[in-house]
Structure formats: C-alpha cells, structure tokens
Structure 1
Amino acid sequence: MIGHELGGRYQIIERIGGGGMALVYRAQDILLNRNVAIKVLRQQFVNDEEFIRRFRREAQSAASLSHPNIVSVYDVGQEGDVHYIVMEYIEGRNLNEIIKERAPLQVDEAVRIASQIADALDHAHTNHIIHRDIKPHNILIGRNGWVKVTDFGIARAVSSTTITQTGSVIGSVHYFSPEHAKGVTTGEKSDLYSLGIVLYQMLTGRLPFLGESPISVALKHLQEHFDEPRSVNPMIPQSVENIILKSMRKNPGERYESAKEMLRDLETSLLPERRTENKLTFVEDEDEDSTRVVPAIKPQNRQNSGGSKLSRDDQGSDERQKQKSNKKPTGNKTKLWVGITLIVIVAMLGIAWYVNKLVTVEEVKVPNVLNMSIEQATEELSKVGIVVGNVAQVYKEGVDEGIVYEQSKSEGTAVKEGSSIDLTVSTAKELPQMPMLMGGTYTYEEAVAQLEQLGVSKDRIRKDEENSDKDTGEVIGQTPDANATFNPDTDQIILKVSKGPANIKMPKLEGLTQAAAVKAIEDAGLKLAKDGIKQKSSYDKPSGEVMEQWPYAPGGDVAPGSEVTIFVSSGYPSEAIEYTFEVPVVPSTDGQKSKIHIIYGDARGENQDWGTRTITKPQYISVDLVLAPNKDGYVYVNRDGALTDTYKVSYIDAKQGTVPQPSLPVTNPTPDESNNDPNGNNGDNNSGNNDQNPPDTGMVNKSKITGRLAKADMKGSKHHN
C-alpha cells in the first residue's frame, strides 16, 4: 500500500498502526493538502457481504458526529476489494501506550481524560450511536494533551464470527460489560461500564479482571467482584472511587443513567468538599441463576418452649400409641423389619463409602515446569492431575517469549489432585515507537536527549551532516522512521543533521557598473546589505564603476543569503583639476617621418601611455591631465625611441592659469616640400594647429626650431636629456 494513491486522492505514506480488523496508514490528501489517517479493512473480511454492509453503514453514521473529542471521519470508499475509511490524523499516542509507560496516572490527569471521553460519549449517545469498544487503544492523546475517541461505529460492525477471528476484538474482552459478555443487546450503559474500566486502569495500572482465556475473563465480568480501586491505590479520592464503583455495576440499572450524568460527576469529583465523601453502598441482590443454599427443615418440638403439657386428646392418643407399641409383633412383621433394617444398613454403608470416595482426594507432587513453553507446562501438570490456573504474561529480560519462568507452587510441593497453580510466562519485549525528530521539531542535541530517555545509548546514535535550506543543527532525517518500532538496546539510530545551505563562490564585482554589480549579487543568491552602496571619489575609476567589495573577496566561499556592500566611484574629487597641455613636437628632419611616443603621469597614476603619432613637421599634441593638490603632472616626449623633452605641469599653475606654454617655431616649406609632404599637408607647417601660434614668415631650419623649443622649455619647463 505504501506509495499507492487510493481513490485517486490519498497518497499512502506509511503504516502507523493496525488491529485485528483493519490496518491504519498515514496518507496525504492531495486535494486538500493535509495529512489524514486511512483505515483499510483486512483482506479476510472483504468477502463477508453482511460485514461490509454494516461496516460502511456504521462508518457513515460515525461521519455524522462532530465533536472536539471525537476523531472526525472525512470519507468512506472502496477501490476494487479495498474498503477504507478516511479519518482525521492525530499526531500523538494512544492511551494504552501512556498507561503502560507511566501508570498509575495522576488523579487529576485521569479524571481530565475520562471527562473528555464521557463528553464524546454523550454526543454520540445523543445521536443514537453506541461505541461498544471503549478501551485505551481507541483513545488518542494529541501532543497538546487533547483527547480524541476513535473507531466510532467500527465496533458495531463486528459480527459474532469476528469475536474469535481477530486478536483485537478478543483483547477487548477485558473492557466488556456483563451484558456484552452474555451476548445480549448492549446499550449506552455498556459504554459507561467500559469507561469505568478505563478509569480503573489509569488509576491502578492494572485491569479489574484477568484470566487465562477470553471466556474466563468474560465469566468474571458476570460473576466475580473486582479489587476496589482504593485497595490498590490509596491515593485515589473516595469521590473518584465512587464513580468507578457506580459505572462498573453488573446490573445496568445501578449504573449512571447517561454519559452526561457521569460527566457531571467527574467534573465535580475533585472539589475539596467531595474528596472525602462517604463510600457508595449497593444492595447486593443475588442473581436468579446463581447457586443457592436452602436450609434443612427442622422437626417441631412436641412441647412448646413454655413447657406447657399436651392436651387430653393428645394424651389419650399417645396412650393408644403406647398400647399399640407394647403389643408383641407377629413373626412375619419381625422378619420384615429385620430385612428393612439390613437394607438400610447396607445402603448407609454404600453411601458412606461413596461419600468417602468423593471427599478423600489423593495428594500429588508439583513438578518443575520452569523454562518450558506454556503448552509443555500444561501437559506436564496434567500428567499428575494438576490444572493451570491464571497465566500472567509479563516480559522478563533474558527469557524467550512464551517460556514459563515462575510457578505459584514450587517443585515438590504436595497438593490435592485437581488443584491449580498459576504460571508466569514471558512475552516479547514491547518495543517503543520511534519519536518524530525531524521537520523542525528537534535540534541534534535535543533529539539525542529524547533518545537517551528511551534508553538508547549515545554511542549508537550516528550523526550524518549535509547541506540543506534548514537551520544549521536541525534534524532533517532519521532512521528508523517516525512511529516505527525499534529496540533501544540494539538498534543503531541515524540522525541526518543540516549543515545549513551550501557555500557559493563570491563573484568579482570590482570594475562593474553599479547596476551590473547589484544584479551579480542577486544572481549569486546573496543580498545587498542595508545602505550597501557607498559613494567614494577616485582619480583612477570613472564615475559609476565599482571600486571595492566588502566583506568578501572575489572567489571566496560565502554562505547563501550573506550581505554584501559595494563602493562605487563618484568621479574625481572636487579639488581635482582637469587640464589639457599642448605638447610641441618636431620631426628629426623637416619633411621626413618621425615617430613620437608620449608618456605622462598625473593624479591617476605614473607612466601612463598616451600613445604614438608619426609626424613630418612641427605641431602640437594635446595631452589631458588630472592634477591634485599633492600631485603635479608631467609629460615625456620620445622621438624615434629616444627621450627628447620633459614637461612639468604644476597643480598651482594650472589652478592659477599660469602654466607656461612652450611655443612652436615653424618655417614656410619650400615648394618641393609643400608638394612632397608625406603627410598630405598642403604646405601648412601648422597642420592641425592653426589656432595656436601662427607660423613665422621665412625659412626655418632644424637647428633653429630645436633651439627655439629649447628656449621655450627653459622658460616654462625643465628639460632633461
């Protein structure tokens, strides 16, 4: 069934319980996205048409109940030969498990639980539905302590044939009412009798009637009295004992009239004025079917107690009797009386012998039946005429299931033939259920503490860590699964623990624009910190470009969701000066090509490459500089691979407008030079620079140009060769 989608709607997840009639699964309601419990009828009942009809009818009746203390029935259906009931899923444990774990319960807790059960029964009885199988197994206690009664209507669907077919129903005989045990029609008061037994068991930790077989237990419900609760647990108030005594009367007429009346009694039972109330007493009427002792009829004295004498007529009659008795009997009468006397004597001797035979019972020796199975022990005892009495089934460490480890009379004890002895047999160890440790319920440390309380040694708890979107340290998986039975003494427990989300590589944000950097942060699963964009001036980064990223360097491991701050350039500082310096350059030979390479430095950095230009005549080249109060600018001019000129541009001069500007000496070219200019100039020696320093008239040779440049350099710049 696990993984099967029942009715096209319910995805079966796991088996969480079961009884003699049905198996119970936890499932996911795909349509409403909620957990549900699904009870599936066992296969041996699917061909019993009468059973199926009653099963569905009663389940549908239970679905009509709506009460906070009753498990809601959502749906009833059939898929092929699978008959199922969909119910409310309660996360918690049943009352039977709680009783086994820590009974006797505190009085106030037991009364609170019984009150909620009585409230549920009152609602059901008002709607003409009788449970008929009230027992701790059918009482669920949620994690919040709220009580839920389940299996309404299911008990009614049990036919007489199932009494011996299912262990679940046989187990219920301990909670049967006397009328239920008789097989007669049961009513609302049968549920109250069963509730009284549940309350008895919660407060004493044991059942009122035990026996070696279901039949013997049923007979005890009919014939025997139970040990009163306060004789077992003196801490029970008299008011609460009175509730148990009244609800468990064998005569239904002496029980509570309704569940509502019992509920009212429970709700007030712990009031101070009621705790010490008088014990309830009942008139013990004998059952008409019980054995009665009838006293013998004694002969009346012929003389009254006052000693008065007989009347005259009586005296006369007496005299006549005496006269008759004084007459001598005839011979025949004598023989008759002798014969009768002999017959009476023989009969009396026979009766005495028979009675003596019945009364006198031979003694036998009790054999040793320890370490035998219950079947072997029964056979061994029967060989010597001893019968098995009560058989208690109690787990004992080191003793296999079904083996006798205690007998009420020791080996060799002399007992009458036909006597009974009680045996104690070991049962299988009742294994606890694995608690739900995952799903946000426990951290690893809390889960280990929970398991240690169940008896699991810490060295058998293994921790497996893996990345997930859950908080670090949270349990995200477990083996065995929740609600599965396990042996705390031998099983290894595996807890899968979250290490948190897996780390990611920090992207490089420096050099990106602000918008591109923000997108890169989001794409990587990171977050921009609050006020995470900082503006910062820069000489070497253009405005809008990311200069720095903090606190994670590019390529480093970062947890998803971490916050990042970026520093974005706001451009040059306010005190910076952008200045264009006109650099004069001349070819090595006028009219021939020279390659000019310019290197400059300013606030943006040292030895920056402006580039290379080929010239054939003197001209100016514009170089853009950025100057700072603590950083002047400079320009290096290389011609054909050799440094020819160096110019310094002072921040102060640029700010004041007093930067010396070297002049460019030029000459008019000859016609040949004009016509053969390799740069394609039309004879203008100031090509590209007509707006500055108009050319002189006349011819100028190379030495003259160089000299004038040198003089200009000496006026406004240092010249380094």
Structure 2
Amino acid sequence: MDTTLQDPLVGQLLDGRYRVEARIAVGGMATVYRAVDTRLDRVLALKVMHPALAADGAFVERFIREAKSVARLAHPNVVQVFDQGADGSYVYLAMEYIAGCTLRDVLRERGALQPRAALDILEPVLAALGAAHRAGFVHRDMKPENVLIGDDGRVKVADFGLVRSVDTVTTTTGAVLGTVAYLAPEQIEQPGAADPRVDVYACGVVLYEMLTGEKPHDGDSPAIVLYKHLHEDVPPPSALVPGMPFELDELVASATARTPDVRPYDAVALLGQVREARAPLSVDQLDAMPPQAVSGGHDNAEDRTSVIPRSLTVPRPLPVNDDDPADGEDPLNRTSRFQSGPPLPPRRRSARPRRGVLALIAAVLLVFGVGAGVWYINSGQFTKVPAVLTQKEAEARTRLEAAGLEVGKVRHQHSDTVKRGTVMDTDPDPGARIRKHDSVTLTVSDGPEIVKVPDVTGSRQDKAEELLKTDGLEPGLVTQEFSEDVIKGFVISTDPEAGTKRRAGTAVSIVVSKGAPVDIPDVTGDALNDARAELEEAGLKVKVATEQVNSEFDKGLVATQTPEEGSEAAEGDTVTLTVSKGPEMVEVPDVVGASVDDAKSLLEQSGFEVEEDRGLLGIFGDTVKSQSVDGGDTAPKGSTITITIR
C-alpha cells in the first residue's frame, strides 16, 4: 500500500500556497515532499520539520536563521532555498526540486565507479563546498545521501547549513553508521568542530567510496568505526582496485589526513588538487572499470554509469592550430568563410581542362602521403610507454627494456602513499607514444619523509613554530603551564619530544610557559582603591565590572573578585572586581508567639540567619517570646535575627 496515502499533508495546501503532491523521503529532522507553488506555478521540494521539533522555540528560531543564511548562498551546485514559513504546527522550507537520484542510489546500484565518473561528481561538489567555505559556511555532514544527481546530469549539494540545527543524535544503528563513516577525527574528539577541513575529510571518504565501492572504515558498531577514524589512516584505493593511479591514492590520502593541518585548508584547495591529479591521467586510466563495479543488466552506455556528461563539467579545449567555426557555420566546410563577393556561375569543364587533372594528382599524392605516414608510424618506429607505476625499480627497468626503451634519469621523491622503492611517476606518462630506443625518466618513491623533531625548548612560541615548519613539521595544539624556570611566552616542552623521528607534516604539540604563578590575595570587603593597589603590587591587572551587586559589605567596597583568593594566576593576568551596592534590605517577619521550629523556618526562608536565646527559663520552652528585630522592620539579607524563647 502506498504510504503517502497515510500522510496527512499529501493533497493539502500548505500555507495557502504550496500544494503537497507526494512524499519523497523521511529523515530524523524532517519529511521532504514534492509540491507545487500555486503562486508561481513551479514544482519544488518542501522540507517540513517534524512536529516534535517544531515545538521547540529555540530550535525553530535557529532553523529559520540558518535557512535565511543558506538562501543567500547562490551557487549552481547548491540546492537553493526559495522560501521559509510556518502553517500551524508545520514549519517548512521551500527548496529547489531535483528530479533524479542521490549519489547513494548510484553507489548502491553501480558499486564502484570509473575514476572519470568519480571525479566528474567530486568536482562540482567541491565547487559548491568551496563557495560555501569562502562565504563562511561549513556543511559538516557531507555524505552520498546529500549529493543529488539530476536527470540532466547536474550535481547538487543538499542540506547546507541545516544539518547541525538538530542537537540530538539519531540512535538507530544504521543511521549512526551512515553518519560516522564520514566524520573527521576532530569531530569525534571535539563535537561541534566547525572547520572547513571536516568537509574536506568527508569528501576524501566519499571519493574513496566512489573509487572502491566500499567505506574505508567499517565495524559492527559505531564505536568501532569512530575508533578507526581516530587511529587508522584511510587506506589507498589501489589496495582494493589494482592499477588505480597513484595520483588518486595521493588525493585520498591528502584529503583524509587524520591531522587537520595536513589536509587542504578548504574545498577550493582540494578542488585544485583534484584538477592537478586528473591532468596527467590517460583515457585508459580514467575509463578503467574497477572490479567492484556492478555491470549486470545495464546495456545502455548512456545510463547512470556515465553519471555526468563531460561537457557539463570540463570544457573541452579547441583543436590546436585550427580555426574555430563561426556561429551557425558548418565545421566541415571551413573554407566557405574565406570566399568574397557573390557566388560565380559554374564553369564548363572544357574551359580549364588541367584543373581536374591537377586535383586528381594532388589527391593521389595525399593518399600516398597519408598511407606512407601510417606505414611509418605502424612500422615499428614508435611504441607506447608501458605502465610501470607502483612496480619496483628493477621490474620497471626490465619492462621498459622489453618495450625497446631505455631508462634515462632516475629521480627520487618522498611519498606518503607510494611504497618505498616503487615507481611513482614516468616522463613521458604511461601510455604516451614514444620513439623506440628513446629514454624514459623514472621517479622512484623514497617512502614517507622522516624528520627529527627539533629542540625548540626555551624558544619564543612564534620562533618555535617557524623552526618546526622549517624542519617539515606542523605546529599542533598549544597549551600553557606555569613555570618557575621558563619565561612567559617561551616553550617548556614539545610532544613528541626533541629528537623523536616522525613523518614530515606531523603535528607537534607545544607547551608554552605562563611564567611563575602568582597567588591572588583576598580583597573582598576592601575599598576599591586599596584592592587595586594590592593586586597591582602582586603583578596582576585589575578590571572593575560595570554592574554592582548587593552583598554583606557596605556600599563602595569590593563585593566579589574573579578569580577568587588562593587561585593561581600568571603575572599580568587580570582580576575582575565587582563593587557592592550594600546589603539587600529585607522585611523581617513577625514570629513572636510562634513555635521555635516555625519561627526558624519562616526567618530562614526570608534570608536570615537565626540564633536562639533560651536563658535559664527557656530551656524547656517552645514559644518565641521576642525577636531582636521587630516584625515589619527591615534588616540586611543574610544578617542574624535572635529569637528569645520561653
């Protein structure tokens, strides 16, 4: 039975404008419908918040605020927000409707994608994220479900800025796994992290999944997946797809580096790396079908296996040394542009009998020349550079020599993704046409670059950070500690410590001195000038709060201080003083004649301390004979009222 028939919104006119036609999807935050804007007569998508969330005023306010912000993010690869409103308990967004499918649908149906298709999808996604990052937005929930692929091949990113409006976490195991698979390590360690690099990490995971058909980290529970994100690198796609170009391995490794500082700083930077990685790939490499691809039952080459037409994403260059045909001109008849004057009537063949003969001779010579060229090219004078990437240097030499080529220069370069001693690049590129017996330059991996952590203890913080970068490392987390021996602002220690060997690009934590600790004196109850002088003499700065408070101290004296007495502070730290408005005066209740318990309860509820005076005669009494402040009079809140008992 169609579940949409049970949905009360289907068939309704929401907010007097949007006619709800069908339910598209249900999520943890909202339900999405296909609807028609009756005012503008266009199909759109309505995201209607679940009523339970709509009852939360703070959530709705934030939802609306973020929706307005996203509506200003105009980009062709971002699902646009048209309108926002409420109709009774229904809070909604009116958004662009994309007829098509999600990337998750494609991966579920196709498994792994060809590198060309994966990059065709990734580039517009990064273009959308890049525009958002430069505008101050972070998506924070990038995954295949939020990548929409239209029937016309356009790629759109959905749920911009709205994915973090919900503060609760879905507890359904499948839903959690679907989200944690793309979380950056810093999102796990510091929930709420909102740096563009979390989107970069997620895009690296999505690229890995498109290339291999699998998520890089799996497990029986979300906790296992989270642990792997924190402690295991994303493996290279070539581990699952033999022959995968090392450029794509490096691209995934760069985007999914566990240390945020090692990743591209935003989606624009990652997009630049994608284009650099794509440029040297041959047609065979881009169109290689991975073994994980699902191909059964799909005979149409123009269906979803091609995902996006190339012309929609990467403009093709004009032919080299060839004129661009004018608008409307037949490109097969380029010479017509260079004719001048009115067309001439046809001449009789007898008028210039030699013209046909010359044309025939030219044609014969042309055919002969083309044939000779083809013969020359195919006569064994040329060959193709064999694919030797990821092979050991000796194996690469043997294969090149077997192809009739010589090994020229052998360069060495460090790499975090290519195994030490194996080929990571050739010049010319694999598959390029080359004359036999020419030389091929090999670039061999030296593995990850290993550097020693320099000794920066005793250096000023900024100088220490420069030294770390000079040695190929990255400054990491900076913490501060008190030190009797190290001057304030200078480095006490590093983690890893000096002399430790680490990969280039590793982040090094720095502990910086706060200077010798200063004991904060107690100045509450002192005159403001006296308190200021005492604190400044101790090497501290003083700030006076603009608001005053009631306290037990007289008006004009220091009521409170932050930090309090006994706390440790560094020299130059600030202590904030709040000045007293005097005690708060409270009316004293009349308790004469009441029982002792009732009198004490009533006085304490009014904010007073109670003291009993029983004397010799009131030892066994239980009735209040008199009170130190008469009922109806006022006394400072917190002061003591003495009751006499008889």
The TM-score range, normalised by the shorter chain, is: 0.3 to 0.5
Which structure is larger by alpha-carbon Rg, 1 or 2? 1
The TM-score with structure 2 as length reference comes to 0.42
Q: Which has the higher contact order (CA 8 A, sep 6+)?
A: 2
The TM-score with structure 1 as length reference comes to 0.38
